[in-house]
Amino acid sequence: MKAIVCKSYGPSSQLKLEEVEKPSPKPKEVLIKIHCSAVNDYDWSMVRGKPNLYRLLFGLFKPKHPIPGMELSGVVESCGAEVSKFKAGDKVYGDISAFGFGSFAEYITIHEDAVVQKPEYLSFEEAAALSHAANLAWQGLIDFGKLKKDMKVLINGAGGGVGSIGLQIAKTYNCHVTGVDTGNKLQIMNKIGFDRIIDYKEEDFTKSREKYDLILDTKTTHAPKAYMKVLNPHGRYVTVGGNIGRLLQIALAQWVLKKPVYVVPLDANKDLEQIHKLCKSGKVKPIIDGPYPIEKTGEAIQYFGEGRHHGKVIVSLDSN
């Protein structure tokens, strides 16, 4: 089978489409023919081996998992002897990171609990764009943010997958939503319905007089005290990722200082049933950048890492 292979840390341009051995499922695994995958921060960090601290996860000197990718949509081709949830021909999707990696490939074997049934009303591209970003947005806004009707919400890093889906979730609660990002993303953000848009190159929202009931952050570039200054009384700050040093500061402020700031420990695929309801009703629709052909995966990861994308960057294997 064909797969994108990362043999050593370095620029994403080193990634090549190579022939590798097609895997066979273990007793609790399914063999999936992948239709689409999605680019995430994991891929950007894993390919480069940066920040260096991440090498404790990825491998000290070279990637432990040479095929990147942590989201997929596809069709079950065969099942291990002990699989009970799926059968050959089932359409599935999911964030597989709790069980493994390797979705930039024609096929993958993964534990059956790593994926869920794909609803017919979602295309393969839409499904691949949902699993990671939608769960982060839902868990950030609902589980940790305690979102309520008519809140004043700010989303930092609003032009990406989490931000675009987060906006749509917040709008089901009739919230006023401010989005922070820059570049070409601002036009897309205006189109999909942000009430206010801030270009972070022109304005630092943490120094504004505006205050918010809830901040959902995907970038985490400031210290906790900066966010506290722009929260209303009883407001909450929730981050789903970003600068490692700042994330550690947020965690410290949460657990030691008992501040209303929270780091979301993602529970992969947990809330997809809730997301399905919103998608079926038309209240949530993923914003897709692409799809890009599998051989362009390196370029897609670089494009993502430079922050030039909008919504979710999708890689398609359907033409291979």
Domain ranges within the chain, ordered by starting residue:
2-118+287-316, 132-263
Q: Give per-residue pLDDT as tens, 29-49.
A: 999 999 999 999 999 999 999
CATH superfamily, domain 132-263, is NAD(P)-binding Rossmann-like Domain (3.40.50.720)
- Say whether pLDDT at 181 is over 60: yes
The conformational region for residue 204 under phi > 0 = left, psi -120 to 50 = alpha, else beta, is beta
Dihedral of CA 51/153/145/270: which sign? negative
* pLDDT category of residue 319 using cuts at 50, 70 and 90: low
Q: Which residues contact 159 (CB under 8 A, 6 or more apart)?
A: 179, 181, 183, 185, 186, 188, 189, 310, 311
| pLDDT given at position 53 | 81
Closest CA to 320 of 36, 59, 58: 36
Instruction: Name the packing angle between helices 124-138 and 161-171 (round to 10°).
Output: 70
| pLDDT given at position 320 | 46
Residues of the chain above pLDDT 70, percent: 99
| Mean pLDDT for the stretch of residues 100-128 | 98
Of the CATH numbers 3.90.1150.10, 3.90.380.10, 2.40.270.10, 3.90.180.10, which one belongs to the domain with range 2-118+287-316? 3.90.180.10
Q: 53 vs 65, which has greater pLDDT? A: 65
How are beta strands 312-316 and 29-38 bridged, if at all?
antiparallel
Q: Specify whether the CB–CB gap between 81 and 56 falls below 8 A.
A: no
Q: Give per-residue pLDDT as tens, 275-290.
A: 999 999 999 999 999 9
- Say whether pLDDT at 54 is over 50: yes
| pLDDT given at position 277 | 97
| pLDDT given at position 51 | 85
Distance, CA of 286 to CA of 161 (rounded, Å): 7
Q: Give per-residue pLDDT as tens, 217-263.
A: 999 999 999 999 999 999 999 999 999 899 999 999 999 989 999 99
